[in-house]
């Protein structure tokens, strides 16, 4: 639990979800500080994340809740949670379990460099 029931409810209420009911969730490794992934949450996914302590998203492609790690074992345990200055983006600092955040097997989803090379993210674990 991240704060009391009331604090969680207040946090969700002040979050500005977009026209599709979603907010951008930015996920950072709490230890290495590497940026792991960007995904989306609706209000219920945010509530599940804050009450369970495990990152839970809304999958736009599958149109369903997505408890990260449920099938892969690569859970993300929440350490700290922040909203930005206008409450339309959230930052989650997490303890990344397993091989990493990316479905490709990379530690972080951000491995495609602008010049076309691939960044080796295995060193950041």
Chain residues that interact with a copy of itself, rule: CB under 8 A = 2-4, 7-8, 10-11, 24, 26, 28, 33-35, 37-38, 50, 80-87, 89, 91, 102-104, 106, 109-116, 119
Q: Using alpha carbons only, how large is the chain's radius of gyration in Å? A: 14
At closest approach, how far in Å is the CB of 8 from a copy of itself? 7
Angle subtended at Cα 99 by Cα 56 and Cα 112, rounded to the nearest 5 degrees: 85
CA–chain centroid gap for 90, Å, is: 8
In the bound state with a copy of itself, the residue whose beta carbon lies nearer, of 18 and 70, is 18
The neighbour count for residue 51, using CB atoms within 10 Å, is 13
In the bound state with a copy of itself, the residue whose beta carbon lies nearer, of 1 and 70, is 1
């Amino acid at each position: 639990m991240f704060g009391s029931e009331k604090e969680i409810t207040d946090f969700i209420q002040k979050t500005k979800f977009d026209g599709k009911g979603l907010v951008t969730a930015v996920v950072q490794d709490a230890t290495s500080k590497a940026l792991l992934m960007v995904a989306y949450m609706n209000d219920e996914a945010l509530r599940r994340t804050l009450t369970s302590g495990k990152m839970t998203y809304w999958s736009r492609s599958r149109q369903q809740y997505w408890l990260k790690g449920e099938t892969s074992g690569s859970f993300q345990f929440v350490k700290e949670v922040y909203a930005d200055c206008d409450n339309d983006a959230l930052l989650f600092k997490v303890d990344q379990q397993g091989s990493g955040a990316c479905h490709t097997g990379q530690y972080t989803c951000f491995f495609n460099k602008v010049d076309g090379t691939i960044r080796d993210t295995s060193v950041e674990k």
